A and B are shown apart, each in its own frame.
Chain A
Amino acid sequence: DGGITQSPKYLFRKEGQNVTLSCEQNLNHDAMYWYRQDPGQGLRLIYYSQIVNDFQKGDIAEGYSVSREKKESFPLTVTSAQKNPTAFYLCASSRTSGRFETQYFGPGTRLLVL
């Protein structure tokens, strides 16, 4: 089945620890995105990648890092510099980053700080 998978479903982070969230898609999409969802707020863009080996910061990139070494994979690392990491993280992809492309979302990872 084609789709986007994220793992793990839940992730616990200790203070000062870096953690990595996985996002994989087999839709052959060029563009991939990471969002953060907090209660009472709309989704906010962390990073996005329009093509392999390229990525750009979104609106709230501080404390996060990404890589895009393969078309199907776009892992997000939440570093210790991110002071308030508790949130629901959603990965998305689109065929291209063009104007009328639709983004398709993965099931999300909930990150909690211990």
Chain B
Amino acid sequence: EDKVVQSPLSLVVHEGDTVTLNCSYEVTNFRSLLWYKQEKKAPTFLFMLTSSGIEKKSGRLSSILDKKELFSILNITATQTGDSAIYLCVLNTGTASKLTFGTGTRLQVTL
């Protein structure tokens, strides 16, 4: 059975800190790994990773995938209170309908 495990489950940091969120997975048929940010309601898309070792970057956020060790990390540098959210790691194992969601990491950034 495909599985996504995120750690830590929750995290509290001070504004300006750098954080690393972890996602490990088990899969029979890997297609891609996605990161979403969920604030109060709708998850919003951050990154799609398909190849090992290639960093995807968007502003202060970056992510990388290791298909050999079966994990991905999401880095956020110089955190801001607006980064407070649940970050979801999602595995695509087939068509767009075949998504396996992790339970998420709840990040709280305090002043």
Contacts and interface: CB of A to CB of B under 8 A. Distances in A.
Q: Do A and B bind each other?
A: yes
Interface of A: 4, 31, 33, 35, 40-45, 48, 50, 56, 58, 90, 94, 96-108
Interface residues of B, number: 24
Nearest to A95: B96
B96 A99 contact: yes
Contacts of B42: 4, 90, 105-108
Contact of B95 (A40, A58, A98, A105): A98
Nearest to B47: A102
B32 interface: yes
B92 A99 contact: yes
Contacts of B32: 99-100
A50 B34 contact: no
A99 B97 contact: no
Interface stretch (B11-19, B52-60, B74-82, B100-108): B100-108
A99 B34 contact: no
Contacts, number: 65
Interface of B: 4, 31-32, 34, 36, 41-45, 48, 50, 88, 92, 94-97, 99-104
A45 B96 CA distance: 11
A98 B96 contact: yes
A99 B41 contact: no
26 contacts: A4-B42, A31-B97, A33-B97, A40-B103, A42-B4, A42-B102, A43-B99, A43-B101, A44-B101, A45-B97, A45-B99, A50-B95, A56-B97, A98-B95, A99-B94, A99-B96, A100-B31, A100-B92, A102-B34, A102-B48, A102-B96, A105-B36, A105-B42, A105-B43, A107-B41, A108-B41
Tell which of A45, A48, A102 has the most Cβ of chain B within 10 Å: A102
A48 B97 contact: yes
